[in-house]
Structure 1
Amino acid sequence: MCQKIRMENVAIVLHDTRIPENIGAAARAAANMGVGQLIVSAPRHLDMERVLKVATHSASGLVKAMKVCSTLPEALGGFNWIVGTTARLGGTRRVNSSPADLAAKLIPMSSENRVAVLFGPEDRGLTNEDLQLCHELVNIPTAGFSSLNLAQAVMVMCYELFQARTRAPECHIPRLACRHELENMYEELKETFARIHYINHENPEHRLDKARNFLSRYQLRAREVSIIRGLCRQVVRYGSQCYKDGAAAGAAGSPKNQETG
């Protein structure tokens, strides 16, 4: 029996779009392939009449149910696995999957997890800061000219997801921590690193980026995120207690206290 991706658990997220017609065309592509949800994050100009005109009647339901968010973290907060799309390669942009490889990987992932495929603005794509919210990156190979129209890129990704099949039994992937849970963990890590002077206070994001890259290699579950956050709190409590004990010992051993004794 063939296994397929649960398309109802997949969402297309369009961030910082400039042109309403591109939203409509992307919605049409997503609807053609059975994608369950469309989310628009921080659109520059959201003219629903222009969006619906391009989406046509077939995708009007997806557009009318579309969620509009003011920030990208808000848009991604409830997702357990986030895939960022990028045309630019190299540097910190380590692409882990091709569209077909990604689709096969998401078959077991989509069973109990909400998956977001994230696209950036038409003129420049996702920034490095945007990509920090992603678990992995995917690149659509081209014959040289790497820039695709937004709706074209959405169609390629949705087609590969729709076509993905596997006959081999896949390992079960339980519910993973959502983006909101992960961001709370990273914020607590950042505060802990600062308290124990593990990071440079002038550039705290540098060390945190390395922690993000390390932890993103693992499919962290909610309880594992809770363990890491609990460890952070314990480190801070232990450090504070050591400081208090040291201050008390110093005060007790001061010359003034010795004379009084």
Structure 2
Amino acid sequence: MPENMPGRINPEHITIVLNQPRYPENIGSGARAMRNMGFYNLIVVDPENFDLEKVEKLSTHAARDVVEKIQIFDNLQKALSPFNYVVGTTARLGGQRQVNSPSVMAEKLIPISKENNIAIVFGREDRGLSNEDIRLCHGLVNIPTADFSSLNLAQAVMVICYELFNAGTKKKHDFNPRLASCYELNGMYKDLKDVLIKISYINPENPDYWMNYIRKFFTRMNLRAREVGIIRGLIRQVNWYGQKMYKDGLDHKKNQEADL
């Protein structure tokens, strides 16, 4: 792309993820909305009713290529494992949630999309994404509305895809390297939680409460795969040293008892 052209989202690196959709018609309408905006990658997670005939009817022939490539998974964590950056959609604001508008989110994704696979996750029609689902996300986006805040799933997909399609800026973006995948990050968080419990840094009865803060800390850094590998190496070394000191303490105690 010439330098004097505005930066744009790389559509090949964008995947729309519908988590536990209830109605096949919404899947079809969502696929059609994606196709209108030039996006083709669609994942459906644990659908309540995946009636292909109804999906195809609402997607129309224009989005047949999107429907034919739909990937279906049984749980969200597995579906998101290969992605380097995940954005969750939410209607709830406040609390500890740092939420962007669709336009701001789209601008932020321009440089990331050059070298990274990005998932945009939509929750169930009746209750959206759970707190557990949101923990898998690097960022959150909210579609502002007037007094009536309930959007149809396909409408929400259209709004987000429109902003992604329309996003662009005249300034040259900095190089953005490949980020660690969700699979790599989840492995790091598991190792970190285990060792922090062992050294009594976090409460073993409620470790996820403290891990949420740690996740947010690392999420702000946009860790690369190599950096995750370094952190996991440090965690393994801390774990090894703790076990060694414990064993050395037992051996020292046995030697003392033997000398008595």
Residue 33 of structure 2 is aligned to residue 57 of structure 1: no
Task: Give the counterpart of 1:170 among 166, 173, 177.
Answer: 173
In 2: Cα distance, 1:201 partner to 1:81 partner: 29
Q: Which runs of 5+ in 2 are unaligned?
A: none
Shift of 1:94: 2.1
| Distance (Å, rounded) in 2 between the aligned partners of 1:205 and 1:145 | 34
Which range moved further: 241-250 or 198-207? 198-207
- The secondary structure found in structure 2 opposite 1:253 is helix
On the 8 A contact 2:90/2:129 being kept in 1, the answer is yes
What TM-score comes out, normalization by structure 2 length?
0.96
Q: CA RMSD of the aligned region, Å?
A: 0.9
2:16 matched to 1:12? yes
Cα distance in 1 between the residues matched to 2:53 and 2:40: 22
Q: Is the 8 A contact 1:8 1:34 kept in 2?
A: no
For 1:82, the equivalent position in structure 2 comes to: 86
User: Which amino acid in structure 1 is aligned with residue 259 of structure 2?
Assistant: Q
Q: Counterpart in 2 of 1:218?
A: 221
2-structure distance, mates of 1:166, 1:72: 32
Trace 1:102-181 onto structure 2 (pairs within 5 A).
102-181=105-184
Unaligned runs of 5+ in 1: none
Q: Which amino acid aligns with 1:57?
A: H
2: distance between equivalents of 1:101 and 1:152? Answer: 19
> Residue 191 of structure 2 aligns with which residue?
188
TM-superposed CA distance for 1:205, in Å, is: 1.1
TM-score normalised to structure 1 length: 0.96
Question: In 1, Cα distance between the equivalents of 2:130 and 2:97?
Answer: 10
Which amino acid in structure 1 is aligned with residue 14 of structure 2?
V
In the alignment of these two chains, the number of paired residues is 256
Secondary structure of the 2:29 match is helix
Contact 1:30 1:158 in 2 (8 A): yes
**CA apart distance, 1:241:** 0.4
CA distance in 2, matches of 1:81, 1:173: 12
Any idea what the Cα deviations from partners look like across 1:14-69, whole Å, max 9, x if unmatched? 00110110000000001111113000011111111111110000111101100000
2:204 pairs, out of 201, 206, 222, with 201
Give every structure 1 segment of 4 or more consecutive aligned residues whose post-TM-superposition deviation is greater than 4 Å. none
SS at match of 2:7: coil
Task: Give the aligned partner of residue 239 of structure 2.
Answer: 236
Q: 2:10, 2:208 → 1: CA distance?
A: 36
What secondary structure sits across from 2:254 in the alignment? helix
